[in-house]
Copies of this chain bind each other. A is one copy, B any other.
Amino acid sequence: MGQYPIKIDEAIEWLASFGGEQDGGVTRTLYSQPWKEAQQALKGWMEEVGLLTNYDSIGNLFGRLPSPHHNAKTILIGSHVDTVKSGGKYDGAYGIIAGVLALKYLKKQFGQPAIHLEVVSFCEEEGSRFPLALWGSGMMTGLYSFNDSVDMKDSEGISFETAMMAAGFGNSEYRVRKDIQTFIELHIEQGPTLEKVEKSIGIVKAIVGQKRYRVTVKGESNHVGTTSMKWRRDALHGAVNMIHDLYESVKEYDEDLVTSVGQLFVEPNVPNVIPNQVQFTVDARHPNESVLDSFCQQFTQMFQEHAKKLDLDIEVEMWHEVHPAQMDSGLNEIIQSICTRSTISSHWMNSGAGHDAQLFAQVCPTTILFVPSQGGISHSPLEYTSPKDLETGLEVLIQLLHQLAY
């Protein structure tokens, strides 16, 4: 083996070495030193396999297998190079690596395509360093602008602009490309569905819509022993009633609805003091926007009623919203036919997680394909997909690109 990897599982380990940690986890946040080294290494690898490389002005990296037709459009494939803190080796990385290997194979076997083929390594998707997610695809699609990152700071107080400049980007205006005809992403599922149904490829119908809320419940601190139950204004009692009924209300909806309270802070958070404030988050997701809206309206009203009953004050603020994104049914039908032809098992499903594909779906025909995640575990050093499943995903991607571009 030379400087660059040959097989897909080797490539996963090779890319994971940039920001790799002792426990097998990877931390490669936007514009960090491991991030810079990873993008530079990918650039070298793309060039070695014969692709034309360039960066855009925010650090998205491209490797191009051009068509001889100058007026041809471009089929873009890829995923994001950044990770969450202590994330896994596969999330994002797999889509870039599979893209490079697919173009390498197609170039060698079939030469120049009729349509430009291009692999992208998006600079950022996770929102882990700065409170802004999908930066790479947001800028490429023209849905974001530099203004969206202004005033943002990371946990060490470094501004977005300073970090971007230090990495060598952000010096010129962003030019949104008009040539992207199709976007295709290959990704690990990050959930347990494919493993449970024992299928190799997930064909994604839609990426779910998300709404995230911050709920603040305010009551009155008092001594737990001397304040009769009837005279209390206990913020935690109120919050618990709300969250209890939130989980109960999910049962009235179909299985695609998921909701979660992941974060909850109590004040003053002392065993013998009645809590005067509780702040918690609610994350709600569903592929159908009107179902999601109805669920969110229902629980915000229910929260208000609980607050009133216990004489508590409440604020409910939505701080993050993503609309459901429909994947292209034409592309999905082709993927299904490839799987059938090659006797690869497949499963139609929704994506409960957000992906770069959800923004491209607003501007061009787009789809995302999944391969299984062992135990459904992701965003963890324990994230794992077998070499066989990685190979199967790559095979489907190659056949899809061949069918579309040759």
Q: Which residues of chain A in 105-157 are interfacial with respect to chain B, using CB atoms and an 8 Å cutoff?
A: 126-128, 131, 133
Q: Establish whether residues A353 and B225, one from each chain, have CB atoms under 8 Å apart when the complex forms.
A: yes
A255 contact from B210, B228, B257, B261, Cβ within 8 A: B228
Q: Establish whether residues B237 and A240, one from each chain, have CB atoms under 8 Å apart when the complex forms.
A: no
Q: Establish whether residues A255 and B229, one from each chain, have CB atoms under 8 Å apart when the complex forms.
A: yes
- Residues of chain B within 8 A (CB-CB) of A224 are 258, 260, 262, 283, 285, 352
- Residues of chain B within 8 A (CB-CB) of A243 are 236-237, 240
Q: Is A84 an interface residue (CB 8 A)?
A: yes
Q: Establish whether residues B263 and A270, one from each chain, have CB atoms under 8 Å apart when the complex forms.
A: yes
Complex Cα spacing A189 to B259, Å: 44
Q: Is A234 an interface residue (CB 8 A)?
A: yes
Which segment, of A47-55, A177-185, A359-367, A374-382, faces chain B? A374-382
Complex Cα spacing A102 to B283, Å: 59
Q: Establish whether residues A379 and B258, one from each chain, have CB atoms under 8 Å apart when the complex forms.
A: no
**A157 CB, min distance to chain B CBs, angstroms:** 16
Q: Which residues of chain A in 232-263 are interfacial with respect to chain B, using CB atoms and an 8 Å cutoff?
A: 234, 236-237, 240-241, 243-244, 247, 250, 255, 257-263
Number of this chain's copies in the assembly equals 2
**A265 CB, min distance to chain B CBs, angstroms:** 8
**A347 CB, min distance to chain B CBs, angstroms:** 14
Q: Is A170 an interface residue (CB 8 A)?
A: no
Q: Establish whether residues A352 and B270, one from each chain, have CB atoms under 8 Å apart when the complex forms.
A: no
Of chain B, the residue at the smallest CB distance from A239 is B240
Of chain B, the residue at the smallest CB distance from A284 is B224
Complex Cα spacing A229 to B295, Å: 15
Of chain B, the residue at the smallest CB distance from A269 is B263
Complex Cα spacing A255 to B85, Å: 44
Q: Which residues in A have some Cβ–Cβ distance to B below 8 Å?
A: 84-86, 126-128, 131, 133, 189-193, 196, 208, 210, 212, 220-231, 234, 236-237, 240-241, 243-244, 247, 250, 255, 257-266, 268-276, 281, 283, 285, 351-354, 376-380
